[in-house]
Amino acid sequence: MPVSRRRFIQGVAAAGLAALVEGRFNQASAETIGHSPAILTGTHFDLAIEPHEVDFTGRRRKAIKINGSLPGPTLKWREGDTVTVAVTNHLSEVTSIHWHGVRVPADMDGVPGLSFAGIAPGQTFVYRFPVVQNGTYWYHSHHGSQEQIGLSGALIVEPRDKDPIAYDRDYVVLLSDWTDTDPYTLYGNLKKQSDYYNFHKRTAGTFVDDVTSKGLRSTVADRLRWGRNDMSPADIADVTSATYIYLMNGNTPDANWTALFNPGERVRLRFINGSTMTLFDVRIPGLPLTVVQADGNCVQPVKVDEIRLGVAETYDVIVQSHEDKAYTIYVQPEARGRYARGTLAPRMGMTAEIPPMDPYPNRTMADMGMVGMANMKGMKMNGMSGSSMPETKSMDMSGMKDSDMSAMSQMQMDQPAETSSDHLAGTTPFPQPGPHTARLMPLPSQTKSRPAETLEGEVPLHVGPEVTMVAMNTPPRLHDPGDGLNGNGRRVLTYADLRALYRGVDGRQPTREIILHLTGNMERFIWGFDGRKFSQAEPIHLKLGERVRFVLINDTMMEHPMHLHGLWSELENCSGEFAPYKHTLIVKPAERVTCLVSADTPGRWAFHCHLLYHMEAGMFRTVIVS
């Protein structure tokens, strides 16, 4: 999009200011150069939620700002402190703030109508809770479409003890999607025509191209398969670059958010997908990314070229260069079209080449559940054969200091504490895994438990108005980086690569399996669990202190980033005791993902797809821990 004169002048002014402060730039005084939200630190915070206007495209549009900023100010807390956040609502409607991924009491979780009444116009609500974890998180509204028009911000929690991740500089990279279209109009367009924003259709021209490359028989058979299921391989995203532009820390690509990056320095980039409907593929051409944290929890470092961030996910990476040059932070949506862009550079004014956009991806038979496990095992991933996929034992540990590695090795060799599972379960939340946390194990008398019960037989699925597809085969696809990323010649992070740095805290086996099908009707834009919208579904009840396995089966052609409030989700990816703790899990089309959950905090919790309009259309459940 062409940059407006006003936007250009703002960029020049910011660059001039940055040049003045470059000589005294440090982590305490400023963390970014260029347009960035303010950074607030301490234990008490005052946030004002106000209506504003913004101009990203040359047209002024209504937005919501926090303390005059879009995105809102970055909040910095410290583990072990008790924080208070006084939120004043200057809007004409109810508002809220949800602390995404943060373990808080249920009445502080910020979901109107579920955990509290919401913040009425003209009122101030004071959030108060102890900070019991560390890592990279974010906050956003959980009311209506407010998140879409700006009500979100980054949240950084510094560890109480020494940070196991070594770095010289620290930057937040908050990604978001913006549309000039009113969110309620956008939602209405999707309800009337689910592919309203999808301009990638099969045509006579693509038929001829396919016949040329694949042959007539194969092309016709492929068209018939998709036609029988009333689906299209071009259904990648509901909302695309047809209406969205993409922002980095609130900046368009022309504004070019820029951060200082000197040769030899280890820079920590905290990537946050704060969008409403967009999966982002992130890379820095010419610079490897060493992933050191996922969803606020430390992982054993793994070096990659590219990361796919589901909506609401966060990844921390370490980057380092010994060259005096600029690098482009290049972010493209899964549905391509436009991009977000920033720059890492030793001096202001430097830029780097912007790479060409990857081709528009297409869905495959695997996304319809028509590829068997045997075929998937032989699939080529990221341009690499299965035999060349890295083993976790040989993962790169460049994000760690030698002393930290030594301590970690000792920690892994130590036997976990064998204490009663009743010692903490049901009386206090389990701590975030760390260097000093003991693993809670069942006593010998408790190990002979009955097989896990399931709820699968209680929810039969039938094709109908709210379920248009029941996948025939739904294997785990943890080695699959996702559509558009396979075979691109780059090493892309997958869920199979994630291995926690510290042992999980709860070593008990689950006593129940809760199977949930993610279902939908794309033509009518209806989404839900087990063929039921939120208005039709009963709550899921968990007993305080119990340990359960959630089995998420995606019977749709869309990725769903699933977020369970209030509790950690321990992704089962063959890492055993070192299963990664996450707050958001991408479930790819026709995929089965399982996670372990310790119901250690009482209350009413939301469980939903973090694609905003999917949640609004029904993919939301209440989980009650009591």
Taking the C-alpha atoms of residue 78 and residue 71, their distance in angstroms, rounded to an integer, is 21
Whole-number pLDDT of residue 219: 60
Look at residues 369, 625, 376 and name the one whose alpha carbon lies nearest to residue 518: 369
Look at residues 335, 382, 339 and name the one whose alpha carbon lies nearest to residue 360: 335
pLDDT digits (tens, 9 = 90+) for 517-542: 999 998 889 999 999 888 888 999 99
Return the ∠ at Cα 363 (arms to 362 and 364), rounded to 5°. Answer: 120
pLDDT digits (tens, 9 = 90+) for 442-469: 755 554 444 455 444 346 676 667 777 7
Whole-number pLDDT of residue 407: 39
Percent over 90 (pLDDT), the chain: 69
**Residue 70 reports pLDDT greater than 70:** yes
pLDDT digits (tens, 9 = 90+) for 331-350: 999 999 999 999 999 998 89
Q: What number is the average pLDDT over the span 308-323?
A: 98
Q: What is the pTM of this model?
A: 0.85
State the sign of the Cα–Cα–Cα–Cα dihedral 392, 274, 330, 399: negative
Whole-number pLDDT of residue 445: 53
Whole-number pLDDT of residue 389: 35
More confident residue, 494 or 397: 494
Q: Which residue has the tokens 């830029």?
A: 351
**Residue 238 reports pLDDT greater than 80:** yes
Q: Which residue has the tokens 């998709």?
A: 226
Rounded to the nearest integer, the mean pLDDT of the chain is 84
Pairing of strands 340-345, 327-333: antiparallel
Confidence of residue 117 (pLDDT cuts 50, 70, 90): very high
Beta-strand ranges (E) seen in 477-559 are 512-521, 526-529, 540-542, 547-554
Taking the C-alpha atoms of residue 428 and residue 449, their distance in angstroms, rounded to an integer, is 23
- Which option is the CATH number for 392-490+503-625: 1.10.3720.10, 2.60.120.10, 3.30.10.20, 2.60.40.420? 2.60.40.420
Helix, strand, coil fractions of the chain, as percent rounded to 5: 15, 35, 50
**Residue 29 reports pLDDT greater than 90:** no
Taking the C-alpha atoms of residue 542 and residue 625, their distance in angstroms, rounded to an integer, is 5
pLDDT digits (tens, 9 = 90+) for 367-392: 877 765 334 333 333 333 333 333 33
pLDDT digits (tens, 9 = 90+) for 200-220: 765 656 655 665 777 777 666
Look at residues 507, 521, 476 and name the one whose alpha carbon lies nearest to residue 598: 507
Whole-number pLDDT of residue 485: 97
Torsion of CA 145, 147, 151, 155, to 10 degrees: 160
More confident residue, 211 or 261: 261
pLDDT digits (tens, 9 = 90+) for 79-105: 999 999 999 999 999 999 999 999 999
What residue segments make up the domains of the chain, in order of their start? 392-490+503-625
pLDDT digits (tens, 9 = 90+) for 491-520: 999 999 999 999 999 999 999 999 999 999
- B/e letters for 310-344, b = 16+ CB within 10 Å, e = fewer, are bbbbbbbbbbbbeeeebbbbbbbbbbbbbbbbbbb
Whole-number pLDDT of residue 586: 98
pLDDT digits (tens, 9 = 90+) for 267-314: 999 999 999 999 999 999 999 999 999 999 999 999 999 999 999 999
Which pair of structure tokens corresponds to residue 569?
Answer: 């989700």
Instruction: Give the SS3 label for residue 456.
Output: helix
pLDDT digits (tens, 9 = 90+) for 562-612: 999 999 999 999 999 999 999 999 999 999 999 999 999 999 999 999 999
pLDDT digits (tens, 9 = 90+) for 540-572: 999 999 999 999 999 999 999 999 999 999 999
- B/e letters for 585-609, b = 16+ CB within 10 Å, e = fewer, are bbbbbbbbbbbbbbbbbbbbbbbbb
Taking the C-alpha atoms of residue 98 and residue 596, their distance in angstroms, rounded to an integer, is 23
**DSSP structural state of residue 264:** T
Q: Are 560 and 620 in contact, with CB atoms under 8 Å apart?
A: no
